[in-house]
Amino acid sequence: MELDRYIRKLGAFTLVGLIALGAESAVKSPEERQSKIGLAERLLDRNVELADEILLADLGNPFSVLVVEVVVEEVVVEIVEETLSPQELIPLLANNVKPIGIIAVGGEYYLLLKNAKVKAGGSVPVMYQDVEYNLEIVNVRRSGYSLGFEGAEVEIKLK
């Protein structure tokens, strides 16, 4: 019991000694103090010159308002809506048809979309530039499908 208390005290003294060795002194060395005093003296010895009347006249009145004349030119840009032919429009519309796959039921192929299955002869609504178009499903095969719009047709092959 006595030995246990002795070991604890020895450990506590050792810990305090190690902390004291690792701690930095709050009082700096005379060389460090002298360098700080020298820096403070140099900063305080600077001669501050006050602005005289000539300098103030050159700077001008800080409260005066500088008037700048602004000329506004009006530019008119005419926006012309380009009308695309069905042959030009169908590839753009076909990019918006995103089928999940193709299935065969009873010998007929169906194009699987997110919320429906459509066979040849059906139609698919497609949005393009805030206008809704109805594309006709012309043909559905095992390897792809064909879309039609106002006489134009595009064939899409699945990978």
Q: For the whole model, what pTM was predicted? A: 0.45
Q: How many CA atoms lie within 13 A of 19 on its CB side?
A: 6
Nearest in space to 124 (alpha carbons), one of 138, 142, 103, 106: 138
Rounded-to-integer distance, Cα 52 and Cα 18, Å? 62
- The structural domains of the chain, with segments of one domain joined by +, span 86-157
Summarised one tens digit per residue, pLDDT across range 90-127 is 888 888 888 888 888 888 888 888 887 787 888 888 88
DSSP string, 11-43: HHHHHHHHHHHHSPPSSPPHHHHHHHHHHHHHH
pLDDT per residue as tens digits for the range 10-68? 777 777 666 666 656 677 889 999 999 999 888 888 777 777 777 777 777 777 777 77
152-157 β-sheet, strand order: 123-128, 131-140, 144-149, 152-157
Where in 45-157 does DSSP place strands (E)?
101-105, 108-112, 117-119, 123-128, 131-140, 144-149, 152-157
pLDDT digits (tens, 9 = 90+) for 68-88: 788 888 887 776 666 777 788
